[in-house]
Chain A
Amino acid sequence: FGFFPYRQKWRKNEVTYRIVNYTNDMKQADVDAAIERALKVWSDVIPLTFTRLREGEADIMISFAVEDHGDFLPFDGPGGVLGHAYPPGPKINGDVHLDDDETWTEDKSGVNLFLAAAHEFGHSLGLVHSSDTKALMYPLYNTNTDLTKFHLSQDDIDGIQSLYGYPPSSPDDPVPPTKSTEQEKPEKNPATCDPNMSFDAVSTLRGEMLFFKDKYFWRKSINSIEPTLYLLSAFWPSLPSGFDAAYELTTQDMVFVFKGNKFWAVRGNDIQPGYPRDIYTLGFPRTVKKIDAAFFHKEKQKTYFFVNDIYWRYDEKSHSMDHGFPRQIATDFPGVDQKIDAVFESFGFFYFFSGSSQIEFDPNAKMVTRTLKSNSWFNC
Chain B
Amino acid sequence: YPLNPAAIAGKLSMDRVQKYLEDFYNLEKNVKQFVRRKDSSPVVAKIQEMQRFLGLQVTGNLDDDTMEMMKKPRCGFPDVSS
Q: A131-B54, A133-B55, A140-B54 are in contact. Are A84 and B73 (CB under 8 A)?
A: no
- B76 engages A73 (CB within 8 Å): yes
Q: Shortest distance in angstroms between B52's beta carbon and chain A's nearest beta carbon?
A: 8
* B residues in contact with A197, CB < 8 Å: none
**A195 at the binding interface (Cβ < 8 Å):** no
| B75 interface neighbour in A79, A84, A102, A133, Cβ under 8 Å | A84
- A120 engages B55 (CB within 8 Å): no
**A15 at the binding interface (Cβ < 8 Å):** no
> How many residue pairs bridge A and B at CB < 8 Å?
59
- B77 engages A84 (CB within 8 Å): yes
- A123 engages B77 (CB within 8 Å): yes
| B76 interface neighbour in A79, A84, A111, A133, Cβ under 8 Å | A84
**CA A129 to CA B52, docked complex, whole Å:** 13
- B76 engages A81 (CB within 8 Å): yes
**CA A80 to CA B13, docked complex, whole Å:** 13
Q: Which of B24, B54, B69, B77 has the most CB of A within 10 A?
A: B77
- B73 engages A129 (CB within 8 Å): no
Q: Shortest distance in angstroms between B49's beta carbon and chain A's nearest beta carbon?
A: 11
Q: Shortest distance in angstroms between A279's beta carbon and chain B's nearest beta carbon?
A: 31
Q: A129-B79, A139-B24 are in contact. Are A111 and B73 (CB under 8 A)?
A: yes
* A residues in contact with B78, CB < 8 Å: 129
Q: A139-B24, A140-B69 are in contact. Are A75 and B76 (CB under 8 A)?
A: yes
Across the A-B interface, the 6 shortest Cβ-Cβ residue pairs: A84-B76, A81-B76, A141-B73, A140-B74, A140-B72, A131-B53
Binding site for B on A (CB under 8 A): 73, 75, 79-85, 99, 102, 111, 116, 119-120, 123, 128-129, 131, 133, 139-141
* Further 4 A-B residue pairs, CB within 8 A, beyond A79-B71, A111-B73, A140-B73: A81-B73, A82-B76, A131-B52, A140-B72
